[in-house]
Amino acid sequence: MTQSIPPFHQKNLFKIPHLADLNIDDNSPFPLKVPDDFMQQMDVSDPNDPLLKQILPLKIENQIAMGFSTDPVQDLDFTPSPSLIHKYHGRVLLIASPKCDIHCRYCFRRHFPYATHSNTRHWQKALEYIQQDHSIHEVILSGGDPMSLSEHSLVRLIQKIEAIPHIQTLRIHSRTPIVAPSQAPTTELIAWAKSSRLNKVLVVHCNHANELSTQTATLFSLYKAAGFHLLNQSVLLKGINDQVNLLETLSHALFKQGVLPYYLNQLDRVQGAMHFEVDHTTAVQIHTKLRKKLPGYLLPQLVQDIQGKPYKTPLRSF
């Protein structure tokens, strides 16, 4: 069950003197939001802490930058039914919840019009669309964060998807197991998974090894025992994980907890996130060096969501 986060920690963050120097924006329309579990993994005495940097709203986000927009991946052009995105062959993405437990500053959905999407009223229509298109074999629950739904609502939605005969795979994209493992759904979801006919995939979102803990390890072992394949996607973020040794450590740390690296995403060019962008050439250089350090199965694919492409596009040298 989702618990509300005590305001205690969040307010305190703004009072830490050395953070005030960073030009905090305590009035952001995408306000500070961080779960206790994630707070505990941070070192707030270090203004360069890689977890702190992911959540602290800064005034620099208000600068308008060329090429950065409010809908960088043009999802709104591919919505056959509200809350449903059908861009890629064989799979659809259902925005199952508008909410997240955390507000990541670089989030490409920070301007997404959630009020008109991801409403439970839309599920029935979306399910009808999926039912009618037999080329769809995989449903991806995304958001926001689908694990911010009540566990009961989440499992009921999943059961409706499972009832569609041509669906073979249920995939959940969620950052909750990383940032708020104590709030992640377990009982009902695991009971469902153990008896389900579907292939089950959980793609978590971890950017830095410091985000992993004994709590995440325990949670992953539960999901794994219930039949979930565990994958991770990260976003390449300047000043946070844009170093070969950090990414190498992350891959090994994930594997130790039973999770395989899947994608390393080049930042989507969303307004407010330009200070996190690693340029194309540097990104490819980092990835090439990483390839020399890791076995193939621990190397995430460096990809970008390019408008109009029917897949996540690998980044290559020019």
Ligand X SMILES: *Cc1c(COP(=O)(O)O)cnc(C)c1O
Binding site for ligand X (CB under 6 A): 85, 87-88, 91, 93, 140, 305, 311-312
Pick one of ligand X, ligand SF4, none as the site partner of residue 103 (Cβ within 5 to 8 A by kind). ligand SF4
To ligand X, the closest distance from the beta carbon of 80 in angstroms equals 12
- Residue 105 touches which member of ligand X, ligand SF4, none, C-beta under 5-8 Å by kind: none
Query: Hey, what are 226's tokens?
Result: 């219930």
Kindly state the tokens that stand for 14.
């703004």
Work out what residue 104 binds among ligand SF4, ligand X, none; the CB cut-off runs from 5 to 8 Å by kind.
ligand SF4
Q: Which residues contact 55 (CB under 8 A, 6 or more apart)?
A: 32, 33, 34, 38, 102, 103, 104, 105
To which H or E segment does residue 161 belong?
Answer: helix 151-162
CA distances from 79 to 97, 128, 298 (A): 16, 14, 34
Q: Which is nearer to ligand X, 57 or 177 (CB)?
A: 177
Residue ranges in contact with ligand SF4 by CB under 6 A: 100, 102-104, 107, 109, 143-145, 175, 205
Please answer whether residues 168 and 199 qualify as being in contact, where contact means their C-beta atoms are separated by less than 8 angstroms.
Answer: yes
Q: Which of ligand SF4, ligand X, none is residue 161 near (CB under 5 to 8 Å by kind)?
A: none
Residue 47 to residue 142: CA distance in whole angstroms: 31
Q: Which CB atom, from 85 or from 284, has the smaller least distance to ligand X?
A: 85
> Smaller CB distance to ligand SF4: residue 90 or 239?
239
Nearer to ligand X, 49 or 305 (CB): 305
Nearer to ligand X, 53 or 109 (CB): 109
